[in-house]
Structures are given as C-alpha cells and as structure tokens.
Amino acid sequence: MIERAFLNVEASLTGRRWVGPGLEAERLSEAMAQMTRLPLALCHTLVKRGVAPAEAQAYLAPALRDLLPDPMGLRDMGPAADRFLAAVKRRERIAVFADYDVDGGASAALLLIWLRAMGRQATLYIPDRIDEGYGPNVPAMQALAAAHDLIICVDCGTLSHEPIAAAKGADVVVLDHHLGGETLPDALAVVNPNRQDEDGSLAHLCAASVVFLMLVEANRRLRAEGVAGPDLMALLDLVALATVADVAPLLGVNRAFVRQGLKVMARRERIGLRALADVARMDSAPTPYALGFLLGPRVNAGGRIGQADLGARLLATEDAAEAAALAERLDQLNTERRDIEAAVRAAALAQAEARGLDGPLVWAAGEGWHPGVVGIVAARLKEATHRPAVVIGLEGGIGKGSARSVSGVDLGAAVQRVAAEGLLLKGGGHKMAAGLTVAEDQLEAAMARLGELLAKQGAGLGGPGDLRLDGLLSPAAATLALVEQLEEAGPFGAASPAPRFAFADQAAQGRRIGENHLRISFGDGMGAKLEAVAFGAFDGPLGPALETPGHQRFHLAGRLELNTYGGRTKVQLRLEDAARA
C-alpha cells in the first residue's frame, strides 16, 4: 500500500514527494506523549527511531557505560591488548602506522596520547597519498620493522597481506574497520568489527572507536594489576571527531561517543583542536556539523594535498606553538584544497552528465586529477545524482579513485568483488565509501561491472526520492524549548538525521542574501512568525519561487535550529523544500 503524500504534496518545487508519519506512527507518538508528557513533536522523532515509551528517558540521556560494548567481544582483542601492554612494560620500540584521513589521524593520536601518559613514546608513520597510496606498503613496513618491535596499523591493514608479511622481526597488530577479505594478513592480531568472521553487531564503528575499545581493555588489565591507566573519557573528543568525519552512523554506542565527545571538546582542553577551532572561526559550542564541515576537512587537508602527518600531529601535540602553526598550515591547505576540488568537480560533473546520470553508477576519470580531492568530488556527485559515484585521477596509465555510496547500497563489498575478479588492481572499503586502483585500459570494463553489481542492490532506481517528514508544526510551536528538547534526541548525522517538520499553508516573504542564498519570513496568519534560511537556494528552484511569492501561500519543510546573533538566540528553519499550498 502506497503511503498518502503528506499535505498532498506529490511533487514539491524540488520534485520530491512528501511522506509523513503513518497512522501507526501517529498513534504511537500520541501514546508516548500521554505517557511521558514529552512534546508530541519530540515523540514523533523518538518513534521514528524505534524508541518505546519506557526507553524514552534513557534514549534522551544515553550513558556510555550502558552502551559501551565489551571490547573482548571483538576477535583478537585479547592478543592485541596483551601485546600492546607487553611493549609498554618492556619499553619496546613502538610504531603507529595510520591512514591519512581524520579517522586515521585520530586513531594514531589516541595511541600517542595514551602512551605519553604512560611515559612512553611511539613513532608516527603516515604514508604519502600520492607516492605511497592507502595503507601499509612493503618498503615502509620493512623499514619500520627494522627499527621497532611492535607496529600498530590503525584504520588500515586488514587487506595488507604482503606488506605485513614483509615486516620481519616485528610483531604487527591491526586495529581497523574496513571490510575484511576471505583471509586475514599474517599479523599477531587483527581487531576489526568488519572481519568476515565477526557477527556485524559493531560494524558501524570507525577505526578510532576500535582503538578506543582496545585502550579500554588495556586499562582494564592494568586495573586488575593495581595500576591506574590514563583517563579515557578525556579522549572522547577524538573519537567523536573521527566518528562524524568518517560518516559512521550515529546509532548505539556511536551516538554516546559523539554526545560525550562534544562535551569534552567544548571544554577546549585539547591544544590542537582548540587551535583548529580558532582558525576555523568556530564561535559556538561544537556540533556534529562543526566536526564534519569545519574541523574534519582541515584535519584532512594535510593528507589530501599537503604533508600526510600534519593532522595526526596536530591532534596529538601538547605544544601550543606547534598547535598554532599546524592549525594555520592546515587552514591554508584546506583553502587550496577547495580551489583544486572546484576545478575537478566541474570537470567530473560535465563528464558524468555527458555519460548519463540515469544509470546505477555515476563515474568520471581525468588525467592529472589530484588524488586528494577525488573522494570529496565523488561525494558531491553522489549528492547531486542520488547514486553511488566514483571519481578517478589518472596518471601514467594507472587510475586511483574514491567512491561514495547512497543509503542501502554496500559499495565496499561491490568494489572488493570487482577487485577479486581482476578488473581492479586493488580495492576495498566499507558500505558507504571505498577506494580503488585500476589500470586505465581496464577502466571502462571495471566501471561497467561495478555498475552491474550496484544495480543488483537497487542503485539508480530513483531520482531525488521522497522527503520524509517527522510531522507538522505551526510557527507558534517552534519554540526555543522545543528545539532544545529535540536536540536531546541527537546528536544528528549519518543514519540519524535531524528531525524534519512541515509548516502548512504559510504566507512567505523572501529576500536574496549574498549571491545565491535566501532568507524568508513566514507565518500562518495566527500571529506567530518564523524566519527561515535556504543556502544555495538560487542554484535550484527554491530561490526564484520564494523570493517574490506575492499572494501565493506555501507548504515549507526543513529542520529547526538555533541561530545566535548579537547575543540573542532565536529559532529558525533551515529550509529544504517547499510546495505551493
């Protein structure tokens, strides 16, 4: 049975069908509101997330101690923690080999900070994206093994059979979350919730969370010996940053990690993050948006187009002068990255459009495209087309690319399958993101095969899709108190979007702000008015339609947020869609 369009909006200004809560969800929300005395709008949000009335208060105040999984539930955790502690106690030489993105940098920083608190140091090694590529390589592992007793690979290593085998004379521990193959490398331990022999219950963890769990187990073992380990709660700002930046779903323990991590970050005690927040001109308490769009891209910038270890060094440093210098350099690199990205994005979109945007996969490849921005451009193509996207930079007959997926399509498994079939030189990742290397003469065949596999998962079946709404509100109901209560259901992000509400039959007056943004004031004629903002509205149909609406009335849809300006805080709507009433 097809759900009736919410407010009868079959095709909005952006071409989407509006879908609201069904009759059963409405009934459950009303029952929860009666039982808990929580606002109906908040109950709609909780019901949508599968929360029962008896669980509502616990959900709104998630306790990490209740949600934290037992680290020993992960395979190889015991050997990993034992070997790590043995190296600490015996003052062995430890090397940390990390990926060059935020998750890898945060994972490395967690280990470096923990070891420093125990009076130990470790060598940080992050491969150059262009010269070495992703993950362990044979020369680097051989060199590290010659000078160290233990190598810990974080956010990488699960598929690195040959490089790990080359680490003669040193033990290797892998702490990762990328999709595992049928066989594991010959490491002393491979702790990874996405190993094929895991049950998948912790598959949503990023690498930094896996590292954190190993440190939880290490602390537990120290405590059993009567030794106090370092303060792990103070490290949750790094876990939160990695979770959001790696687009891990904000469900279960991830939600608790981010929620508690934001509180830790708000204290501004980590020198590196404080310096980075200052150069990013963050003037309010940290939010998932700030982690994903202000801090994350700057930490990433070193690995994308600069020196690969800058981000990890910033996150781990205790030197204020070094932090300020690293943050400034990363901010500069991020500006350069945006310029490079804009050029590649324009070329990639033109190529993808010429190839056609109606298939199960959107892809583009270009000579000399910087490998540091292909992942971001793939994400932009995915957002623009609502399809999995691959963007590849070609050089010397070899293409190195990144892929991004849409909800419900396991891209990592498909890429790994194409690699196993020999059409890719290598490839792997997780459900929402993957990396690949391909010979230029195999490019067309590899993308065709990848498209076939993604089509079997349902990729490319729809356009913009439905706009799912949590319910209906009036401007008078959109109060500061309501928004603050809705925030308790967060944090919001991947797999846990912020609640979206519709405002029916509103008289709206809009004006252009800046080059292509829109600010409107709207009301239902009952007295209360609300302001809304739509960024980039004039890049699509919303701006032209709402700038001078005359006597027309509109249904408006978006997410409520708090806007603080000049010392005053008020509610505004982040407008996402509209339809003529």
Non-local CB neighbours of 385 within 8 Å, separated by 6+ positions = 352, 357, 362
CATH code for position 154: 3.90.1640.30
Handedness of CA 255, 260, 261, 263 (dihedral sign): positive
Res 525: pLDDT: 84
Measured CA to CA, the distance from residue 103 to residue 432 in angstroms comes to 15
Q: Cβ(319)–Cβ(271) under 8 Å?
A: yes
**CA distances to 92, 293, 493, 511 from 518, in Å:** 59, 21, 24, 6
Nearest one of 247, 174, 240 to 208, comparing CA atoms: 240
Instruction: Tell me if 108 sits within 8 A of 153, measured CB to CB.
Output: no
Alpha helices in 233-270 (DSSP H): 236-245, 252-266
pLDDT confidence of residue 515: 85
* Structure token digits, residue 47: 């019901």
Is 281 domain-assigned?
A: yes
Tokens, residue 73: 């539930």
Is 224 in the same domain as 371?
Answer: no
Angle, nearest 10°, between helix axes 102-117 and 236-245?
170
> Are 134 and 277 members of one domain?
yes
Fill in the DSSP letter of residue 180.
P
Quote the CA–CA distance of 512 and 69 in Å, as a whole number. Answer: 49
Whether residue 54 lies inside any domain: the answer is: no
Does an H or E element contain 276, and which? helix 271-279
Among 456, 483, 504, give the residue marking a domain's end: 456
The reply to whether 361 and 309 lie within a common domain is no
Claim to verify: residue 301 and residue 414 sit in the same structural domain: no
- Asked if residue 483 and residue 429 are part of one domain, the reply reads no
DSSP per position, 67-88: HPPPGGGSTTHHHHHHHHHHHH
* Token pair in block for residue 88: 């600490």
For residues 151 and 83, the answer to whether their CB atoms sit within 8 Å is no
Shared domain for 184 and 75, answered yes or no, is: yes
Separation CA 399–CA 133 (nearest Å): 12
How far apart (Å, rounded) are the C-alpha atoms in residues 295 and 252?
24
Q: Is residue 392 part of a domain?
A: yes
Among residues 331, 346, 370, which one ends one of the domains? 331
Residues 502 and 566 in one domain: yes
Residue where a domain terminates, one of 428, 456, 484 = 456
| Distance, CA of 217 to CA of 197 (rounded, Å) | 21
Long-range contacts of 509-517 (CB under 8 A, 24+ apart): 509/549, 510/543, 510/546, 510/547, 510/548, 510/549, 511/547, 512/538, 512/543, 512/547, 516/543, 517/543
Whole-number pLDDT of residue 464:
65
**299, part of any domain:** yes
**Residues 191, 188: Cα–Cα separation, whole Å:** 10
In a domain, 36, yes or no: no
- pLDDT number for residue 463: 60
Q: Is 381 exposed, middle or buried (0-12, 13-18, 19+ CB in 10 A)?
A: buried
Same domain, 304 and 368: no
Compute the distance between CA of residue 295 and CA of residue 246 in angstroms, rounded to an integer.
Answer: 12
**Helix (H), strand (E) at residue 176:** none
Residues 108 and 328: their CA atoms lie apart, in Å, by 21
Please state the domain count of the chain.
3
Same structural domain, 384 and 431: yes
Q: Is 25 helix (H, G, I), strand (E, B) or coil?
A: helix
Q: What is the CATH number of the domain that holds 534?
A: 2.40.50.460
Model pTM score: 0.91
Residue 339 included in any domain: no
CA 176 to CA 185: how far, in whole Å?
12
Mind listing the pLDDT tens digit of every residue in the chain (581 residues)? 567 899 999 999 999 999 999 999 999 999 999 999 999 999 999 999 999 999 999 999 999 999 999 999 999 999 999 999 999 999 999 999 999 999 999 999 999 999 999 999 999 999 998 889 889 999 999 999 999 999 999 999 999 999 999 999 999 999 999 999 999 999 999 999 999 999 999 999 999 999 999 999 999 999 999 999 999 999 999 999 999 999 899 999 999 999 999 999 999 999 999 999 999 999 889 999 999 999 999 999 999 988 999 999 999 999 999 999 999 999 999 999 999 999 999 999 999 999 999 899 999 999 999 999 999 999 999 988 889 999 999 999 999 999 999 888 999 999 999 999 999 999 999 889 999 999 999 999 999 999 999 999 999 876 667 899 999 999 999 999 999 999 999 999 988 999 999 999 999 989 999 889 999 999 988 888 999 999 999 988 999 999 977 678 999 999 999 988 878 899 999 999 999 99
> CA 178 → CA 83, 136, 141, distances in Å?
22, 14, 19
Distances (CA, A) of 429 to 104, 416, 436: 14, 8, 9
Cα 424 to Cα 433: distance, rounded to the nearest angstrom: 16
Looking at residue 551, what is its pLDDT?
72
Q: Is residue 60 part of a domain?
A: no
Q: 347 in a domain, yes or no?
A: no
Same domain, 488 and 382: no
CATH number at residue 389: 3.10.310.30
- The reply to whether 394 and 526 lie within a common domain is no
Q: Are residues 191 and 233 both part of a single domain?
A: yes
Q: What is the 3-state secondary structure (H, E, C) of 333-383?
A: HHHHHHHHHHHHHHHHHHHHHHHCCCCCCEEEEEECCCCCCHHHHHHHHHH
Instruction: State the number of CA atoms in the 13 A half-sphere of 287 facing the CB.
Output: 14
Range of the domain at 441: 356-456
